[in-house]
A and B are shown apart, each in its own frame.
Chain A
Amino acid sequence: MLEVRDLSFRYDAQPAIVDVSLAVQQGEFVALLGSNGAGKTTLLRIISGLLRPASGTIAFDGQRLDSLQPHRICDLGLVHVPEGRQLFPSMTVRENLELGAYLPAARRHLAASLEYVIHLFPKLGARLGQLVGTLSGGEQQMVAIGRGLMAGPRLLMLDEPTLGLSPALATEILHTVRQLNKERSLGVLLVSQDVVQALQLAHSAYVLQNGRMVRHGTAEEFLGDESLRQAYLGI
């Protein structure tokens, strides 16, 4: 479904991503792991069109993305839920969700999408009229994921959705992501520092180190092999 091949990117002269390849299949849950500064966020930003790669290709269902504008990529069904949530704090929960369905195709399913988001996150249902700036961090993250879902994605890219959340809330959010991955056979590319939990939920995982993809395997391989865990994940 998503095919990234030999992607490279530089911030000025500094290489940030070097010859990275990655694939996500239809309905697959993929974890992207790596320490701070490894290039995970940069990689997602390149895929969603916010940054332009220096070389390499990105294809989504066979269509090349690497020269498309971000709004076109969203229209194709590849939706990025950015790190730090980037919500519209002066709008209500409902308005934030509605704005996720900005494009005509998504707006046609507005009511059904809204219902599904509330089904996934019942807490939001009670807070539709509340300003997002007054929500807790966990609730804001739910809105961010919900807003992403409103765009009608076929592949959802989540950047650190559990950052700064309590362990219980982090677990809840990640399990919800797994649930919608199953229910909707939605492709998920998850960036997370919460390595163990991400591996328990994901089908496969990639490890980035200093901008290079150093390891790819199934989640079981990572969890089962101690030397692998110590070498790449520090757990």
Chain B
Amino acid sequence: MPMMISASLNIAMRGRGQQLRSAPLGMVAATVLLALLPLTHPSEYLLSFLFIAFMYASLASSWNIVGGFAGYLSFGHAAFFGIGGYATGLALLHSGWSPFITAIPAALLAGLFAALVGYPVLRLRGPYFALVTLILTMVVRLVVMNLSWTKAAQGFWLPFPPFDNWTSRAVFYEVMLAILVLTLLVVRWVQYSKLGIGLIMIRNDEEAAQTFGVDATFLKVTAFVLSAALAGLVGGIFAYYRTYVHPNTMFDAYISVTTVLMALFGGRHIWFGPTLGAITLSVLSELLTLSIGTEIARVVFGLLLVAVVVTMPDGILGFTSRSARAHDGSWLKFLRREKWKS
């Protein structure tokens, strides 16, 4: 046993070295540039827009751990998002603790909840799993709506952050950027780890995966917990950003569905696909709204999404790059070089 542990540590460290050397160079550069953006004193509008875009990018990326890698299409991401939001909101309301700190225990709480519901729910497959996760959000919302200590259907206001308006927007922007980067690092690590290989085997054929030594239940629940905790982190910050916490905004099926669409749009086979999808769709939606008005923009946006999903089932990344198409093994080459060889 100790030998196994040291071997896998060894593997993990080699993996990390590789990560620093290759693709994320672009990621590091983009992160630095985006982090410096507030120095140019952009408008509050731009900061808010990017905050929301990063939020969806993070949600879509964390969703992808379960929905993309394992192939379990969850329509319940908002449940974990909302739990995170309520946790930080209530902590601020009752104890005055800053959500920037309580977002971390809030994420753990969302993860714990995912472990409890994931164990039974992940036994379902395909449309059954999708439906139950969709209902899960509604059930949590109903429960929260009827409990007095969550302020029931009234919701509650939070005190404003102790900054002026512009600074506040800049701070939220930086925090959400940090969360997005963290999410991407986690998702990337998952994809290239043994967990990711197992999840992709599960998506391809769960039974075959099991007969080749994949502990499907453990891997699925682990993925679900990771995914939920990251969503809880985002929700915990979003509640503070909105300063108004209400069941209908925190447990909103629209958030779940948008998250799924963005991930599918970008491409679920590669870790950065959902981020690409989320950013592209956010910009597109905003431009359409600004140019042709909100109502028509919704219609055009919806039609566009249908067209894209029908013509590019593997997302824009799958459409443009052959290796990101349904070819799941392309990233295995990396493993072969780095750690798959024992």
Interface residues, chain A, with chain B CB atoms under 8 Å away: 48-50, 69-71, 74-75, 79-80, 82, 86-92, 95, 98-100, 102-104, 106-108, 110-111, 131, 147, 151
Contact = CB atoms under 8 A, between A and B. Distances in A.
Nearest to B3: A104
A100 B209 CA distance: 9
25 contacts: A69-B210, A70-B210, A71-B215, A74-B210, A74-B211, A75-B213, A80-B211, A86-B205, A86-B207, A88-B204, A88-B328, A88-B329, A90-B328, A95-B329, A98-B332, A98-B340, A99-B197, A99-B201, A99-B212, A102-B197, A102-B198, A102-B209, A110-B340, A110-B342, A151-B213
Interface residues of B, number: 29
A50 B204 contact: no
A106 B212 CA distance: 10
A108 B7 CA distance: 11
A127 B126 CA distance: 33
Given A107-B342, A110-B341, 4 more contacts: A82-B207, A89-B204, A98-B340, A104-B7
B33 interface: no
B336 interface: yes
B336 A98 contact: yes
Contacts of A147: 212
B316 to A, nearest CB: 18
B207 A104 contact: no
Contacts of A110: 340-342
A82 B212 contact: no
A91 B342 contact: no
B211 A91 contact: no
Contacts of A104: 4, 7-8, 342
Contacts of B217: 69
A210 B199 CA distance: 37
Contacts of A89: 204
Contacts of A79: 211-212
A74 B54 CA distance: 43
A50 B329 contact: no
Nearest to A147: B212
A124 B77 CA distance: 43
Given A92-B329, A111-B341, A131-B327, A50 B210 contact: yes
Q: Is the interface of A mostly helix, strand, loop or mixed?
A: mixed
Contacts of B341: 110-111
Contacts of A102: 194, 197-198, 201, 209, 212-214
B93 interface: no
B336 A106 contact: no
Contacts of B4: 104
A91 B210 contact: no
Nearest to B194: A102
B208 A91 contact: no
B326 interface: yes
A82 B204 CA distance: 14
B212 A74 contact: yes
A70 B216 CA distance: 9
A91 to B, nearest CB: 4
Interface in B206-236: 207-217
Most buried by B among A88, A95, A100: A95
B214 A71 contact: yes
Contacts of A49: 210
A228 B51 CA distance: 77
Given A110-B342, A111-B341, A131-B327, A90 B204 contact: yes
B329 A90 contact: yes
B340 to A, nearest CB: 6
Contacts of A106: 213
A91 B328 contact: yes
A90 B210 CA distance: 18
Contacts of B336: 98
Interface in B306-342: 326-329, 332, 336, 340-342
A160 to B, nearest CB: 15
A50 B207 contact: yes
Most buried by B among A88, A100, A106, A131: A88
A48 B212 CA distance: 10
A102 B197 CA distance: 9
Contacts of A103: 212-213
A134 B30 CA distance: 39
Contacts of B204: 88-91
Given A104-B7, A111-B341, A151 B215 contact: no
Contacts of B7: 104
Pairs of residues from A and B, 9 with the lowest C-beta to C-beta distance, nearest first: A95-B329, A91-B329, A86-B208, A103-B213, A70-B210, A88-B204, A74-B213, A90-B326, A71-B215
A82 B207 CA distance: 9
Contact of B205 (A50, A88, A108): A88
Contacts of B329: 88, 90-92, 95
Contacts of A71: 210, 212-216
B302 to A, nearest CB: 30
Interface in B276-292: none
A69 B332 CA distance: 26
Contacts of A80: 211
A103 B210 CA distance: 11
